[in-house]
Amino acid sequence: MPRPSARRGRPQKGDLQKEPPGGIDTEPEDHGLGRSRGGLTTKIHLATELGQKPMSLIITAGHRHDSPQFQPVLEKIRVPRTSQGRPRTRPDKVRADKAYGSRANRSYLRGRWIGCTIPE
């Protein structure tokens, strides 16, 4: 029966890394940090009105893509009415950059009857 090599007891290259190469796939909900371009970064996904007042906000890790955050940001919008009634949750129109121009985002806006200006 062959004996195990003496080298097996020592740590191998890569065993000492704190996280797997490429980063950790799942980030806890209460964290907004992620590795991007060599450092810890954060992204703020924000919906504002014309007067630049924030209406909803989501913070994610810096290496996460922008497009999947489009629908959650819009769903968090709650604008209280001056009179009684439910808060307003649907904007009249959305302007966004090319990162948000996916088919899924456009069909989501059509389904909620929200006009959009998103370059292709």
Question: To which H or E segment does residue 74 belong?
Answer: helix 70-75
pLDDT tens column, 69-97: 889 889 999 888 888 889 888 888 888 88
pTM (2 decimals)?
Answer: 0.65
Over the stretch 94-105, which tens digit does the pLDDT of each residue have? Answer: 888 888 888 999
Give the single-character DSSP code of 88. B
Side-chain-side CA neighbours of residue 7 (13 Å): 2
At 12-27, the pLDDT tens digits run 665 555 555 555 556 5
Tell which residue, 37, 35, 41, has the closest CA to residue 17.
35
Specify the DSSP class assigned to residue 3.
P
What are the C-alpha distances in Å from 36 to residues 28, 62, 66? 17, 6, 14
